[in-house]
Structure 1
Amino acid sequence: MKKILFILVGILLVSVGVTILKFSEIATGGTAGLALSLSYLTQTPFSLFFFLVNIPFYIFSVLRMGWKFTLSTIFAVSTLSIVTTFDQFLPSFSVPIWLGAIVGGAIIGVGLSILFANGSSLGGANILALFLHKRYQFNPGKTTFLFDFIVVLTSLYAVGFVRGLASVLSIAVTSMVISYFKNRIAEKQEQPAKNEKYKVGSDVAVSQ
């Protein structure tokens, strides 16, 4: 139950970050960025594109990450798709692009870090980043940035050059936040092991 609550908090934070980017009229990376760019071009709700573009990645997730992780990811993606539909009820406003890039990117980074730490993701490059981290210990922040950067480059037509630069700043901030929390989580996981090793060593010394 506690893990589900954390996942919901992560989803809420990501939805806030995506909404900030949307009202800044800039893109982000991953499937969320692709869906956001398509929504700009077609005036179709972000939630619909976000759900559809993740379907191929669900197949990869089942094959490589297992059903538990995949179901958690489907739950997260579906919930985010539903939550982001409520932005239509917000009053019309705009956010300065550079402020939106930094604040939106940071909030998305925190939300994704919470999801990663609780065995979930938002599909797309998130799945690949976690797979490469699990299998080869690749930094998920750097992997996410690489794929997000490619998505942002493809979105320049939808948002323009200046807003494209702001989009790059946004994914850089998101990547740094994910990398920071990834390192913090790793440190916390290593600390009990070090303490246990020290305790065992002390017990051996006392027994001698």
Structure 2
Amino acid sequence: MKKWLWIFLGIVITSCGVILLRHANLVTGGTAGLSLGMTYLFNLPFALTFFLVNVPFYLFSLLRMGWSFTRSTIISVSLLSLVTSLDVWLPSFNVPVWLGAVFGGGLIGLGLSLIFMNGSSLGGANILALYLQKRLAIDPGKTNFLFDVSVVLLSMVSVGVIRGLLSILSIAVTSRIISYFKKEIASRQLAEKPKSSSMASTPKSRIPVAE
């Protein structure tokens, strides 16, 4: 239960960051960035778009990270979709682009770090980042940054060059915060190794679970 309370807190914080970016007309990386870009281009609801874009990544998660992690990720993505959908009930407001880039990116970085530390993700590149850190000890912040920059470059079609560059600033802030917590994220994964060795034959042995 404590684990899920931390995950939910991370989702709420991440949702606030996504809402800030949206009201600043900026995008972010990963599947959230793809979804935001699609909402701008096609006037689609973010919550539904974000959930559907993540569906193909669940298969990779199931094959590489196991069922428990995948289930946790699906629940986290669904919760984020639900929380961000509450944006429609908020009064209309605009956020200055610099403020949105820095604070939106910061909130997303903090929220994702909490989610990572408690054995879950928000799909897409998050899954790849955690997998590469667990298997090859690659900094998850750097993995997310490279993937996210690619997404933002594609999203410049919908937000323009200037806002695209500010979006890159946003994901740089996000990645820096995740990198700051990389040791804590890794330690949570390592803490489960003794349990994993005793259950090597089950998919759960491959899942980082918070204490």
Aligned twin of 1:200 = none
Aligned twin of 1:178 = 178
**What displacement does 1:183 show?**
2.9
Matched, 1:47 2:47: yes
**What displacement does 1:181 show?**
1.0
Aligned twin of 1:203 = none
RMSD: 1.4
How many correspondences in the alignment? Answer: 190
Larger radius of gyration: 1
Structure 2: distance between partners of 1:120 and 1:170:
22
TM-score by length of 1: 0.89
Structure 1: distance between partners of 2:74 and 2:81:
10
TM-score by length of 2: 0.87
Distance of aligned partners of 1:188 and 1:62 in 2 relative to their CA distance in 1, 3 Å threshold: closer
**In the TM superposition, what are the counterparts of 1:68-79 in structure 2 within 5 Å?**
68-79=68-79
Aligned twin of 2:9 = 9
**What displacement does 1:185 show?**
4.8
Output the amino acid matched with 2:94. S
Unpaired runs of 5+ residues, structure 1, are 191-208
**What displacement does 1:187 show?**
7.2
Structure 2: distance between partners of 1:64 and 1:14:
25
Unpaired runs of 5+ residues, structure 2, are 191-211
Displacement over 2 Å in runs of 4+: 183-190
Structure 1: distance between partners of 2:184 and 2:150:
27
Structure 2: distance between partners of 1:189 and 1:8:
19
Greater helix percent: which structure? 1
Aligned twin of 1:138 = 138
Aligned twin of 2:160 = 160
Aligned twin of 1:80 = 80
Identity between Structure 1 and Structure 2 (%): 62
* Partners of 2:16 and 2:104 within 8 A in 1: yes
